[in-house]
Structure 1
Amino acid sequence: MQRLSLTVLFFWLVLPTSAQSLAQQLVSAFHAFETHESLANGVASLTVINAKNGEVIFAKNEKLGMAPASTLKTVTAATAYYTLGADHTFETTLYYTGQIDAAGTLKGDLVILGSGDPSLGSDRFPGTTDTVLLAAWVRAVRAKGIRKIEGRVIADDQLYNGQTAPRGWTWQDMGNYYGAGVSALNWRENAVGINFIAGSSPGAATQIGKTTADLSYLRLVNETTTGNRGTGDRVYAFSAPYSSRIYLRGTYGIDLQKTIYLSLPDGAYDAAHQLQRALQQEGIELVGTPTTTHLMHLAGSALPSGGTTIHAHASPALGELIYWFNQKSINLYGEALLLAMIQHQSEQTNTRDGAEMLQEFWSEKLALPASELKITDGSGLSPENRITTNALTRILASVKSEPWFANFFESLPTYNGMKMKSGTISGVLGYVGYQTSKDGTPLVFSLLVNNYNGPATPMRQRMFQLLDVLK
C-alpha cells in the first residue's frame, strides 16, 4: 500500500511538468532566461507562432524595437524574392567604344558595364571567379583582333553613382571584408586577402607577405604587432570608399597562419586594374590607365556614347545568391540586393531609400507598422537598425506558402540542430527561423538579445537552451 502511494505521488509530481503546454514551458524557460545576471542591463525579446494558423504561442517584448544584427538578412532575402523574383540575374557586359583599325589597334576604350552583381569575381561559384572572368574577357578582346588599345579600361559603376557604404556602418567595420562597400560593379566581393609574417616575439612588428591580388595602386600602412601564442587574428583594417591608404592595426598571433581579408576601397577600379594587367600579360598593349566612370565624373569627363558588346556574363540566379547570403552572412550581398530592389521599385514608385522601400513593402503586405521596421541597411551590420521580433516572425511565416520557400529555407544555416539565421554584432545576438515541435506543430520564432553582459559563447548556449523548448 505504501509503495502504491509513493507511485501515485511520483506521477502527481511529474505530471504537471510533462503535461505542460508549449506555451507554459516557454513562460518558465523565458523567465529563467531573462532574469539571468547576463541580462541585468540588457533586454531579450522572443516571439513564437504556429506557422499553420498564425496563432501566437508565446510573445514577450515582441513590439520592442531591437537591434537585429544579421537576422535582418532574412527580411532582405524574403523581400528580394518577392520583388525581383527567384530567377532574377545580374548581367555584366564588356564592350568597346571607337573603331578597330586594320593593324588591330582599338582607337577607343574597353568598358566593363556593371549592373550590381554581388558575385562578380567571387570564388563561391565556378563560373564567377576572377580568373575565369578575366580569361573570358581577354579571349573576347583577342577574338575581335585587338592587339593594342589606345584608350583606357573603364569600369562603368555609374548605375548606383559609385561605391558607397550604408549610413550607420562604423569606422571599425568598413575597412574589413565584412564591411566592404557596394557599387554597380562589385569585384571579388570587394575584398582582398593579406598574408602577414609574424615577428620573432610578441610585441614585435609584423611584415606584410603576399596579397591575393595586386594592390600596387594602394598604400598599405602596417601598424600591426605580433600577438601572443593562441591569440589568433586581432587585425583590423581602417579605410573607407575611395581611400588610397589602408591602415592595418591590431595583433597577429605568433603561431597564426591565416590570410586576413579586408575591403577594397573601390571594387570597380580594382576590376579595371586587374583586367588591364591580364591584357598586358597576354601581350596586348594599353596606352591609357584604368579608371571608373565615377572617377571620370569627378574629373569632369564622361563615357563616349555607343559601343560594341563583346562579352556578356549573367550572374547565378537570385536563389543561389541568397543561399550564400544567408549561409555565410555576406553583408555585401544584402546591400547589393537592397540597391537592386530600390532600382526596380524606383522605376515605378520613385522610391530611392531602402528603409522606406522595406517599410512600405511589408506595411502593404502584412500591415506591419513602419515603426516596427526602422532599417538603415540590407545586411544588419549597422547598429542603428531596429526591428521587432513580431515583425521578423510574421515575415518569416508569410513566406512559407511561396513557391520559392524551399530554397529560402535551405539557405538558412543549421545551429543547435535547428534551421535558423544568426545575428551577431557588439552586444547583440539573435536567432530567427523554423522548428517543428514534438507534437508536429510547425513553428516560426525570433529571439533577439541586446546589451547583454559577458562573453558571447555562454549567452549563445543559454539561447540554445531556451530554443530547445521548441523541439
Structure 2
Amino acid sequence: MKRLLIVSLFILAGQVYAQDLQQKISGAFSRLQADSQCSYASLSLTVLDAKTGEQVFAANPNMGLATASTLKTITSITAFNILGADFKYQTQLGYAGEITADGTLNGDVIIKGAGDPTLGSWRYEQTKEAHVLALMTNALQKAGIKKINGRIIGDDSIFGSQSIPEGWIWQDIGNYYGAGTSGLCWRENQFDIKLRTGVVGNPIGISRTVPLMPNLTFKSELVNGATGSGDHAYAFLPVGSTVMYLRGSYAIDQDKKSISAAIPDAAYDAAYRLADTLRKLGITVSNGAESAATLNAKSLQVPLIAKNITTIQSPPLSRIIYWLNQKSINLYAEQLLKTIAWKQGRKPTTANGVEEVQKFWKARGIDPNTINTYDGSGLSPGDRVTTATLAKILQSAKKESWFADLYESLPVYNNMKMKSGSINNVLCYAGYQAHNGRELCFSIMVNNFSGTSRGIKEKMFRVLDVLK
C-alpha cells in the first residue's frame, strides 16, 4: 500500500506538472494572439514530447501556413532518412576523343555533375574553388593532356533545364538566395557585385564583379539610400537573358558596398573557370567553355565521357545539412529535394521531389495534404504546412542514429536550438528544447503579422521562453 501510494503521488505530480506547463504555454500563446501585431494574422503552435510524441500543447495545429525556412527541417530529415548521413555526391571529370602522342586531346573535356551543391564552395576545405580546380588540372596533366583541340563542357543535364521551382517570386530570382538548381553547381551558384556609391538619391554604379563574369552585362537602376535605410538592392535576370538589372536602393553607410547575385548558368561558369586555369598553366583550349544550356541553344548535344580520369566527392550529407540549416542555404535544400527524387528512381525534378517527400511521410502516418509545398527550402510564399506535421517530423528524428547531426545543424536563437524562417510578413521557428529534464519539440508559425519583424520576434520568444 505504501509503494502504491508513492507511485500514485508521482503520477499525480507528473499530471500537475504537465497541466501547469500546458497552462503557461496557453497563457503565453493567448497573449501573442491578442497582440495588435497579430490582429489580422494566422497563428499556430504545436509542442510535443520529443521522446514519446505525446501532445503537450496545440493551438490551430492543423492550419496550413507558410513555413518560410523552417521547411528546411522537413527536407533535412527526409534526406537523412532516404539518402543516409554518409551519402556523398560524385562529380566526374573525363574526356571524349583521343589523345595523340604529343599530348593533344582531339575532343572535349567534360565535367559531369551529379547535383553536388558544394562544388567550389568556400565552406569546406575540400570543396574550395582553388582546390577543386587543382584536382581537375592535375588529373588532366596525369592523363598526358598538354593541349585541348576541343571544348571544356560543364554537363549539368542530370537535373534537367528547369532550375527555378514553380512558386518562387520574381523579386527573389536573380539574387544569391534565389539561385536556381543545377546538375553542376559552382561556388554555390553565386557571385558578388561591387557597388560604387555616392550622393543620396543619385544612381549607384558598378565597379566590378568577383569573380569576373564576362558572359554577363549589367545595368544599374540602383539609387543611393539615406543613412540607416539599409540594403534594399535586388538583382533581376530575365530567363534566357545575359543582361542583369540591379534595382532598389542601397544606403550610403553600408560597409560592404557589395551584393551577391545568382549565376544563371553555373555549369558554364565551372567550365569557364577550368578553361581559364588551364590557359594560365599553358594548356590551350581551342573552342572555349560550354554547358548543356549553351549547347542546346545551338541544337548540339553534350557528348558522353569516353574515359573518366577522376571523381570528386562531396562532403557527407551530415556536413551538407549542417551548413544548410546553419546558414539557411536555399540552394542546398533544393538540390537535396531533387536528389531525393533521383534516389527514389524518379526523374530529378522539384515536383517529383515534393511528391517523394509527401509519399515518404504518408507511409509513416502523416497526411500528405499537410505538406502542400512547391519547393524544399520554404522560399515560396505558397508553401503550406501544419505545425502538427512539422512537430511530428521533428519528433520522429529523435530516435534516429543521425539525430545528433541534425541537432548540431540547428542554429541557436533565444538560447534555443531551432530553425528560423522569415519571408514577407511571415515568421516561424521549429526545433527542440528541454523543460525541467523533459525533452520537447515544437513548431510555431505566424503568418500575415503587422509591424516589424523584430517586434513579432520578441513576442514569439516570450511564448517559447515558457518551454525553457
TM score, norm. by length of structure 1: 0.93
In the alignment, is the contact (CA less than 8 A) between 2:119 and 2:314 conserved in 1?
yes
The residue number in structure 2 matching 1:74 is: 73
Unaligned runs of 5+ in 2: 1-15
SS in 2 for 1:110: strand
The residue number in structure 2 matching 1:251 is: 249
Structure 2 CA distance for partners of 1:347 and 1:425, relative to 1, 3 Å? closer
Number of matched residues?
452
In the alignment, is the contact (CA less than 8 A) between 2:94 and 2:305 conserved in 1?
no
Is 1:29 aligned to 2:28, yes or no? yes
The alpha-carbon deviation at position 293 of structure 1 amounts to: 2.1
**Paired letter, 2:32:** F
The C-alpha deviation readout for 1:125-184, integer Å capped at 9, x for no partner, is 011011111122122222223222111010111111135111100110011000000011
Distance, in Å, in 2 between the alignment partners of 1:112 and 1:47 is 46
In the alignment, is the contact (CA less than 8 A) between 2:339 and 2:348 conserved in 1?
no
The C-alpha deviation readout for 1:328-370, integer Å capped at 9, x for no partner, is 00000000000000011125999962221111110102x1111
Is 1:442 aligned to 2:435, yes or no? no
The residue number in structure 2 matching 1:10 is: none
Is 1:469 aligned to 2:466, yes or no? yes
**Stretch deviating more after TM superposition (277-286 or 19-28):** 19-28
Q: Which of 437, 448, 451 does residue 448 from structure 2 map onto?
A: 451
In the alignment, is the contact (CA less than 8 A) between 1:74 and 1:421 conserved in 2?
yes
The residue number in structure 1 matching 2:50 is: 51
The residue number in structure 1 matching 2:418 is: 420
Unaligned runs of 5+ in 1: 1-16
Structure 2 CA distance for partners of 1:167 and 1:347, relative to 1, 3 Å? closer
The residue number in structure 1 matching 2:113 is: 114
The alpha-carbon deviation at position 300 of structure 1 amounts to: 2.3
In the alignment, is the contact (CA less than 8 A) between 2:341 and 2:347 conserved in 1?
no
In the alignment, is the contact (CA less than 8 A) between 1:181 and 1:241 conserved in 2?
no
Distance, in Å, in 2 between the alignment partners of 1:221 and 1:170 is 21
Distance, in Å, in 1 between the alignment partners of 2:213 and 2:466 is 51
Distance, in Å, in 2 between the alignment partners of 1:264 and 1:348 is 24
The residue number in structure 1 matching 2:154 is: 155
Distance, in Å, in 2 between the alignment partners of 1:79 and 1:469 is 29
Structure 2 CA distance for partners of 1:343 and 1:154, relative to 1, 3 Å? same
In the alignment, is the contact (CA less than 8 A) between 2:179 and 2:263 conserved in 1?
yes
**Paired letter, 1:430:** C
The alpha-carbon deviation at position 281 of structure 1 amounts to: 1.5
**Paired letter, 1:405:** F
Distance, in Å, in 1 between the alignment partners of 2:249 and 2:36 is 32
SS in 2 for 1:286: coil
**Paired letter, 1:145:** G
In the alignment, is the contact (CA less than 8 A) between 1:346 and 1:352 conserved in 2?
no
The residue number in structure 2 matching 1:8 is: none
Q: Map 1:180-329 onto structure 2 (within 5 A).
A: 180-199=179-198, 201-258=199-256, 259-329=258-328
The residue number in structure 1 matching 2:128 is: 129
SS in 1 for 2:398: helix
**Stretch deviating more after TM superposition (340-349 or 202-211):** 340-349
**Stretch deviating more after TM superposition (30-39 or 244-253):** 244-253
Distance, in Å, in 2 between the alignment partners of 1:23 and 1:240 is 51
In the alignment, is the contact (CA less than 8 A) between 1:95 and 1:310 conserved in 2?
yes
The residue number in structure 1 matching 2:4 is: none
The C-alpha deviation readout for 1:299-351, integer Å capped at 9, x for no partner, is 22223344222221100000000000000000000000000000111259999
The C-alpha deviation readout for 1:12-46, integer Å capped at 9, x for no partner, is xxxxx999710011111111110111111111100
In the alignment, is the contact (CA less than 8 A) between 1:343 and 1:352 conserved in 2?
no
Distance, in Å, in 1 between the alignment partners of 2:415 and 2:307 is 53
The alpha-carbon deviation at position 385 of structure 1 amounts to: 0.5
In the alignment, is the contact (CA less than 8 A) between 2:339 and 2:353 conserved in 1?
no
Structure 2 CA distance for partners of 1:73 and 1:147, relative to 1, 3 Å? same
**Paired letter, 1:454:** G
Distance, in Å, in 1 between the alignment partners of 2:205 and 2:50 is 54
**Paired letter, 1:236:** Y
Distance, in Å, in 1 between the alignment partners of 2:92 and 2:119 is 11
Distance, in Å, in 2 between the alignment partners of 1:294 and 1:178 is 22
SS in 1 for 2:331: helix
The alpha-carbon deviation at position 99 of structure 1 amounts to: 0.9
Distance, in Å, in 2 between the alignment partners of 1:454 and 1:425 is 14
Distance, in Å, in 2 between the alignment partners of 1:18 and 1:159 is 54
Q: Percent identity?
A: 44
The residue number in structure 1 matching 2:353 is: 354
**Stretch deviating more after TM superposition (292-301 or 125-134):** 292-301
SS in 1 for 2:458: helix
The residue number in structure 2 matching 1:373 is: 371
Distance, in Å, in 2 between the alignment partners of 1:19 and 1:404 is 29
Q: Kindly report the root-mean-square deviation, in angstroms, between the aligned alpha carbons of the 2 structures.
A: 1.9
In the alignment, is the contact (CA less than 8 A) between 1:163 and 1:266 conserved in 2?
no
The alpha-carbon deviation at position 448 of structure 1 amounts to: 0.3
The C-alpha deviation readout for 1:447-471, integer Å capped at 9, x for no partner, is 0000000010010000001100011
In the alignment, is the contact (CA less than 8 A) between 2:50 and 2:440 conserved in 1?
yes
Structure 2 CA distance for partners of 1:151 and 1:369, relative to 1, 3 Å? same
TM score, norm. by length of structure 2: 0.93
Distance, in Å, in 1 between the alignment partners of 2:388 and 2:240 is 39
The C-alpha deviation readout for 1:368-402, integer Å capped at 9, x for no partner, is 11111101101000011000000000000000000
In the alignment, is the contact (CA less than 8 A) between 2:89 and 2:313 conserved in 1?
yes
SS in 2 for 1:407: helix
The alpha-carbon deviation at position 231 of structure 1 amounts to: 2.4
SS in 1 for 2:22: helix
Distance, in Å, in 2 between the alignment partners of 1:376 and 1:349 is 14
The C-alpha deviation readout for 1:78-135, integer Å capped at 9, x for no partner, is 0000000110000111111111112221100010000000001100001101111112
